[in-house]
Chain A
Amino acid sequence: MKVLVPVKRVLDYNVKPRVKADGTGVDLANVKMSMNPFDEIAVEEAIRLKDKGVTEIVVVSIGEQKSQETLRTALAMGADRAILVVSETKVEPLGVAKILAKIVEEENPDMVILGKQAIDDDNNQTGQMLAGLLNWGQGTFASKVEIADGSVNVTREVDGGAETDTLKLPAIITTDLRLNEPRYASLPNIMKAKSKPMAQKTPADFGVDVTPRLTTLKVVEPAKRSAGIKVADVDALVGKLKEMGVAK
């Protein structure tokens, strides 16, 4: 069984984003970048499924040349080979899904595992779009994945609790936070990852038009909250709650 795992290079989740003064976007010059946390969970899940019938894990990233660092991280975690699709301009989820659909055609995986959302654009679209383009089942926000005969049972985090769906294979899965705890790559594995194969492509190789459909007109900082006050004790807090009409 072959699994495809798309990964994205994003601003590290611990870094506080700074909006550029000219309002064109978020400043990404000289800041720490990492693999999108949900994608780490996707890579980890694919590796864990290796004991349960998964034989090959192919990781893909679409973005600037530096995304190869993100792919090397995935290879060091345990993926077998990588495909880098280089685009120095931003590719939207629809474009990413179209490229991934072409890669799926070539590679014929049984499953594609993606993160549920990237923490930069917060779109939460790519997995569902890919499932739509391929006409495959989709198990989004997965907190548990169990491969059965010709199908996969996916427990999903939904508002109010959890839901389990059975999907016919091949299928798309998107990972939620609680699916697993991703491993750290060990130094020997990081060294080994350097010699694992990485193919390099461009969107044009797949004949996919990735012209953006959305134009960002401006990016601003959210409204700042005005400074609050500190109260000395519980009585003062109760007083404030009464003032607000929250307490009687």
Chain B
Amino acid sequence: MKTLVWVEHDGQAVKDATLSTVTAASQLGEVHLLVAGQGVDGVAAEAAKIAGVGKVHVADDAAFAHALAENVAPLIVELMGHHDAFVAPSTTHGKNIAPRVAALLDVMQISDILSVESEDTFTRPIYAGNAIATVQSSDAKKVITVRGTAFAKAVTEGGSGEIEVVASTGDKGLSTFAGSEIAKNERPELTSAKIIVSGGRALASSDQFHSLIDPLADKLGAGVGASRAAVDAGYAPNDYQVGQTGKIVAPEVYVAVGISGAIQHLAGMKDSKVIIAINKDEDAPIFQVADIGLVGDLFKIVPELTEKL
């Protein structure tokens, strides 16, 4: 099988999510990459070095600069003339583009796979991760999105992909990028952080969230996450949200501070290697999944913990 992997990048560098996707794709067969964007020679060169990569298709056009699905999907559909599978990371960009490609190819997408069982059979979570389904596709071509935390990252050196320029399919004129507000964050990116400290509603204010959670995270070199309740209450920005509707993370250590552990939150973090919970309610559901629990007042515990680390 020849698989085409959509490379997620920011115009400068390949994003980590792409590397896990390459690992998943390599379990299906020969891996080709697509680097679409504007001024992406550097990204293409970096992509070509990823271990195990064959061809790197490069489409350089202003129409692809912001990864708008309306423009990128027809380009992918054209390349799918000589590929058997299209694989993208389950990031917001991947989730935006892949189903449009699937519809144009008249195939059903397999979303957010956890494993490749064979060329046509995959496992994926349903019901907020409360069940794992094994599904078999009867479509001739496969369109797949990959849960990054379920696959190891491909090695970024040693590859010798052959770069091939592909013609642009142009701007379809359906949508334009008007601007973005990307939160500045010096800390490790949530989905690739080894340690995450997450705060919940119990933090009670934005000030307390940042004055308690941030120093603890800094001490541990951790990324900062939040529950939906904390985000909805305005204590933390939207893109901090961990859960079914936010980011799915699986760090080595996940520290849940003042988070009760609703099923929608657990869906986003229960594959973490070690879960540590700090909560004053000893019956909170979070303690059912926590490896190490500490019952008590977070306003006392967190500063003391930060101090002693």
A-side residues, CB < 8 A to B, are 11, 13, 16-17, 19, 26, 92-94, 97, 116-117, 119-133, 135-141, 143, 153, 156-168, 171, 176-178, 212-222, 225, 228-231, 233-238, 240-241, 244, 246-247
Contact = CB atoms under 8 A, between A and B. Distances in A.
Nearest to A126: B99
A177 B231 CA distance: 11
A160 B137 contact: no
A128 B244 contact: no
B127 A168 contact: no
Interface in B139-160: 139
B125 interface: yes
A241 B175 contact: no
A159 B101 contact: no
A122 B103 contact: no
B125 A228 contact: no
26 contacts: A17-B130, A17-B131, A93-B109, A94-B108, A128-B99, A132-B100, A135-B172, A137-B174, A138-B175, A158-B93, A159-B91, A159-B191, A159-B247, A161-B180, A165-B177, A171-B174, A178-B232, A219-B134, A220-B134, A228-B293, A229-B291, A230-B293, A233-B294, A234-B301, A235-B308, A237-B276
Interface stretch (B65-73, B162-170, B204-212): B65-73
A34 B305 CA distance: 43
Interface of B is mostly: mixed
B100 A157 contact: no
B274 interface: yes
Interface of B: 66, 68-70, 73, 91-93, 95-104, 106-112, 121, 125-139, 172-183, 185, 191, 195, 219-220, 228, 231-232, 237-239, 244-245, 247, 252-253, 263-264, 270, 274-276, 282, 287, 289-296, 301, 304-305, 308-309
Given A166-B175, A244-B274, A246-B195, A215 B100 contact: no
Given A132-B101, A221-B132, A222-B131, A140 B96 contact: yes
B288 to A, nearest CB: 8
Contacts of A235: 308
A215 B136 contact: yes
B111 A123 contact: yes
Given A123-B111, A238-B309, A247 B99 contact: no
B178 A122 contact: no
Contact of A178 (B126, B238, B289): B238
A188 B97 CA distance: 42
B138 A215 contact: yes
A160 B195 CA distance: 18
A177 B100 contact: no
A160 B131 contact: no
Given A161-B182, A162-B181, A163-B179, 8 more contacts: A128-B98, A137-B175, A157-B239, A158-B92, A166-B178, A213-B107, A214-B137, A234-B294
Please name the 10 residue pairs, one residue from A and one from B, whose CB atoms are nearest each other, closest first.
Answer: A132-B103, A128-B99, A129-B103, A213-B108, A125-B99, A137-B174, A132-B100, A161-B182, A137-B175, A228-B291
B252 to A, nearest CB: 8
B125 A161 contact: no
B127 A119 contact: yes
Most chain B beta carbons < 10 A, residue from A19, A123, A133, A156: A123
B133 to A, nearest CB: 5
B107 A240 contact: no
Contacts of B139: 213
Contacts of A121: 126
A94 B293 contact: no
Nearest to A133: B103
A177 B245 contact: yes
Given A168-B175, A217-B135, A97 B103 contact: yes
B282 to A, nearest CB: 8
B69 A122 contact: no
B285 to A, nearest CB: 10
A248 to B, nearest CB: 8
B218 to A, nearest CB: 13
A233 B296 CA distance: 9
B281 to A, nearest CB: 13
Most chain B beta carbons < 10 A, residue from A19, A163, A164: A163
A168 B173 contact: yes
Given A119-B127, A138-B69, A165-B175, A16 B195 contact: no
A138 B98 CA distance: 13
B111 A125 contact: yes
Given A16-B263, A228-B287, A216 B135 contact: yes
A169 B207 CA distance: 42
Contact of A159 (B93, B174, B244, B290): B93
Given A94-B107, A125-B111, A161-B180, A238 B308 contact: yes
